[in-house]
Structure 1
Amino acid sequence: MKRTLISALVAGCVGLASFAAAAGTVVVNGSTTVLPAMQKISETFMAKHKDIQVSLSGGGSGHGIKSLMDKTTDVAMASRDMKPAEVENVKKNGGEAVRFTVAVDAIVPIVHPNNKVKDLSMQQIRDIYAGRITNWKDVGGADARITVVSRDSSSGTFETWEELVMKGERVQQRALLQASNGAVLQTVAKNPNAIGYVGLGYITKDIKGLTISGKAASAETALSREWPLARDLYLFTNGQPKGDTKTLIDYALSPEGQVSVKEVGFVPVPAKK
């Protein structure tokens, strides 16, 4: 993804959040990982459906799912599945959580381009984030203290990282917590000793994606699940979507909508046979 798109997303989020869908408006809220895909999908969707507006904002997967439970958004974007307690909460309020897979993603550990480290094992990454490895020289890099950058706890990407990388261990307290993929990217791009992680669609020339035990993140390795940090990206609705919301969901999952997914660097969902 180009930096211009990231800048546009940041700017576009300001003032776009809404707490009620007006007639002809679909409110979409949640994951900053899913946001680039939905931004592109929404642009092409509104060009085709000029009578429907999409009000789009980020805030994290947890925020989007809470908004869905509170019935203040029509669609929640999430980079993780809903938790059983969240699904039950929706039911208690008379609703039903309905899930749609809109894309496949790969979480990629990233470092500054000047960092000579190119590859880490999952154990080395876990040890860095747990605080057991604190100097780059211990993994083949320069003699410099590692600055650990992580997402905050409202992020679905953070929860996926904890599940797939940390395996029940906690990210060290010294980690710099960031509210979005874009913030992680910018922090790592400015610090030669930093390590962070972002979705595949956020990889730019300003940072360097690491391989894991010799395996590189790509659309192919994410789809085949050869990449150990591959995951699905979701859209959730409260009940089966209807009206304008259904029109948007159907478009996002259509071949035309999936072209937008690919254009921003994510992996399109295979068509159902």
Structure 2
Amino acid sequence: MMKKYLSLVCFVLLLPQIGIAQKIKGSDTVLPLAQKEAEVYMQKHPSATVTVTGGGSGVGISALLEGTTDIAQSSRKIKFDEKLKLKNKEKEVIEVIVAYDALAVIVHPNNPITKLTREQLEALFRGKIKNWKELGGPDLKVIPYARETSSGTYEFFKESVLKYKNYMNGIMSMPATGSVIQSISQTEGAIGYVGLAYLNKDVKAIQVSYDQGQSYSNPSVSHANDHSYPIVRPLYFYYIKSEEAIVKPFIDYILSDEGQKIASELGFIKVIK
């Protein structure tokens, strides 16, 4: 019995040094970060295999519950009922913040509107403002785009911008961040939101005010760091404590100076140690 125990201890101690296959699933916001970190990590550790897929925060946490992923990546905090389901399966979940993200509000590049207050954003996404001319813009119907309900970004925007009020009925719901970008780039009256790392020249980011128009700030790493940009949220990895030896080497790499430098280069905000 003691021999078997010692063999198990030796195996666990050797885990960080041997090739380990890990699956990471969940948030589309975290996806580019996890993919790039995995790519560099596997270059440094050729015997390791890390596969990363999206699908949304809720999808990742469900996969963790079902045992089909080793790490759930999430742009929202795990819900009480999700923790309860894991506890009922005798699974203790561990939470790690791997970076922070500024959520950018975006419109079509031709839209002359450059700044909006939180109250105006709330009205736009709740269907109270229906035409851009109500805000001094062109005579164009407002077409809001949101993420699907399994997305942590959908929930965070509802919490931070809508103050827990419901989105308008019939809002355009997109399955992935890339589809939000594509839709808004092709629709002049559109408005939506994406993680800072997804911003590109096909859409325009709006300056946002959370003090009723006294001050505005555009989404950027520097403005998130100095707290002048208000729509910022933590990004999480969740894993089962009993699997810690398998996932910890990769998580430790992401939280290292090198890993956090990669996060910053991608447009995420570093974790302050």
TM over 0.5: yes
Counterpart of 1:126, as a letter, is: E
Equivalent position of 2:258 in the other structure: 256
* DSSP 3-state at the match of 1:237: strand
Structure 2 residue corresponding to 1:205, chosen from 201, 206, 220: 201
Question: RMSD of the TM alignment (CA)?
Answer: 1.2
The answer for the alignment partner of 2:6 in structure 1 is none
Q: CA-to-partner distance for each residue in 1:195-253, whole Å, 9 max, x for gaps?
A: 01001111111100000132111112223433221100011111165334111111111
Q: Distance in 2 between matches of 1:187 and 1:36?
A: 20
Residue matched to 2:11? none
Of the three residues 164, 169, 185, the one matched with 2:160 is 164
Gaps of 5+ in 1: 1-22
Letter of the structure 1 residue corresponding to residue 133 of structure 2: K
Alignment match, 2:110: 114
Contact 1:223/1:230, CA 8 A, preserved across alignment = no
| Identity %, equivalent residues | 38
**Pairing of 1:12-91 with structure 2 (within 5 A):** 24-91=20-87
**Selected match of 2:132 from 133, 136, 156:** 136
Query: For each residue in 1:25-74, what CA deviation from the matched residue of structure 2 results, as whole angstroms up to 9, or x when unmatched?
Result: 10000000000000110010000011110111100000001111112110
- Secondary structure at the residue paired with 1:80? coil
Matches within 5 A, 1:174-185: 174-185=170-181
Does the 8 A contact of 2:221 with 2:264 survive in 1? no
Superposed CA deviations along residues 162-183 of structure 1, whole A, max 9, x for unmatched, are 1011112111123110011111
State how far apart, in whole Å, the 2-side matches of 1:186 and 1:264 are. 20
Deviation per CA, 1:143-189: give whole Å up to 9, x if none.
11011111010000000011011112111123110011111111101
Counterpart secondary structure, 1:183: helix
Question: Given the two structures, how large is their TM-score scaled by the length of structure 1?
Answer: 0.88
Supply the distance in 2 between the matched residues of 1:244 and 1:86 (Cα, whole angstroms).
Answer: 22
Which of 147, 153, 158 matches 2:149? 153
Stretch moving more, 231-240 or 47-56:
231-240
Mapped pair 1:226 → 2:222: no
Q: Provide the residue aligned with 1:265 in structure 2.
A: 267
Q: Aligned partners of 1:237 and 1:224: how far apart in 2?
A: 31
1:58-95 per-position Cα deviation (integer Å, ceiling 9, x unaligned): 00000001111112110000000001111121111111
How far apart are the structure 1 equivalents of 2:103 and 2:242?
Answer: 29
What TM-score do the two structures reach when normalised by structure 2? 0.88
Judged with a 3 Å threshold, the aligned counterparts in structure 2 of structure 1 residues 51 and 149 are, in CA distance, closer, same or farther, namely: same
Query: Matched residue of 1:174: which SS?
Result: coil
How far apart, in 2, do the equivalents of 1:167 and 1:32 lie? 23
Between Structure 1 and Structure 2, whose CA radius of gyration is higher? 2
Which sections of structure 2, spanning at least 5 residues, go unmatched? 1-18, 210-215
